[in-house]
Amino acid sequence: MTMSTNDIVLIIVSGGDIASTNQADFLLEKFAWKPIDRVEGLEAYSHQNIRMWIHPGGVLHEDDLDLRWEEATGERVVEAIFPSRHSAKSGNPSLTLHPIGVPQLDFDEVAPFGGKSGNSPPPSPRLATWWRAMGGLVSGSIIESEFDLSLEVTHHGPWINVPSLFVEVGSTEKTWGHKGAAEILANLIAQGLGMNGGEELGKWDSKLNSGETVVVTLGGGHYAPRANKLGSIEGLWIGHMLATYALPFNKPESTGEQPTGNWKNSINSAINSTKQAFPNGNVVCSMDKKAFKGWQRQAIREHLATINIPLLNTKALVELSNK
């Protein structure tokens, strides 16, 4: 992506979330940010081509933050990073990364955790590269034995029109405020955005990266086991990741009929927005076969063939990554 002088990366901080504010505090302390005029009455900072916008509460229902920033400042947001906390019933300490969207919901359904029902914003091209970098930052650190690392599948809001990524500390109050974890993730954001003076990580260029393989994963649990594995392979990019629950099927009553449900729209939304995030990329799908029944797998295969999206296994993807 070629950026103009008015193009910026927006870090959106949730002021009521200690995992978010801790990451922001480390970034503010480490670099020479300048306070700028308040945006929508809210605190904001500038460093290089990066802006930080502090919202007093949560942001899951704060839609179109990119357009709102541009309207207020004249600067075009080209991507958004959301430092955040992660909640899980397991309570396991974790560091996670994930794209956002609720493509499995009916278009007229109220999204309980934000987002535009039936839609998914563009995923951040940085996802796989930052996933690999996060492992490197945690390895040998003081939190290595305390925290699990994982990608998460596409879920929740807000709606935004540009590639975005949630960077999270999980999973309960006991660890949300963990400063060592927050510092690791702040370092990941800084390194990933080139704030240390080095090369940015995971920046997609439609010319330089033209034809490279971008994977949309289908099926599996919330912690994206297939994507975790594929994202660790150099040369592969990861787009949206759809859990089994994000592909809702209704079994057809008669043989030969297509199953109903929102599974097809969910796939279409994930693929289309991934194409938007990776212009000129070779977008393919990878499916967790064990996550689906035979008739579901067949329906997915037939639909992907109809829209000309290859469905590849891990071996084929590894071969593509080596080209």
Instruction: Show which of 192, 221, 248 is a domain's final residue.
Output: 192
Task: Please work out, in degrees rounded to the nearest 5, the angle formed at the alpha carbon of residue 278 by the alpha carbons of 290 and 112.
Answer: 60
Burial class (CB in 10 A: 0-12, 13-18, 19+), 138: buried
Task: Tell whether 199 is covered by a domain.
Answer: no
Considering the domain architecture, whether residues 137 and 282 belong to the same structural domain is answered as: no
Cα separation, 101 vs 96, whole angstroms: 16
How many CB atoms are closer than 10 A to CB 79? 25
Task: Tell whether 85 is covered by a domain.
Answer: yes
* Structural domain for 33, as ranges: 7-192
For residue 288, give the CATH number of its domain. Answer: 3.40.50.10700
Considering the domain architecture, whether residues 160 and 229 belong to the same structural domain is answered as: no
The whole-number pLDDT of residue 213 equals 98
Q: Which amino acid is at 207?
A: K
The whole-number pLDDT of residue 4 equals 62
Q: How far, CA to CA in Å, does 171 sit from each of 177, 242, 244, 277?
A: 10, 21, 22, 29
| Report field, pTM of the whole predicted structure over 0.85 | yes
Task: Spell out the alpha helix ranges (H) of the chain.
Answer: 18-30, 65-73, 127-138, 173-176, 179-192, 225-231, 263-277, 294-306, 314-321
First-to-last alpha carbon distance for the chain, in angstroms, is: 22
Considering the domain architecture, whether residues 228 and 163 belong to the same structural domain is answered as: no
The whole-number pLDDT of residue 254 equals 84
Tokens found for residue 283: 């977008």
Considering the domain architecture, whether residues 186 and 275 belong to the same structural domain is answered as: no
Averaged in consecutive runs of 10 residues, what is the pLDDT profile of the chain (323 residues)?
77 97 98 98 98 96 98 98 94 96 97 98 98 98 96 98 98 96 98 96 98 98 96 97 98 89 98 98 97 96 98 95 84
The whole-number pLDDT of residue 220 equals 97
Task: Tell whether 184 is covered by a domain.
Answer: yes
CB 203 within 8 A of CB 163: no
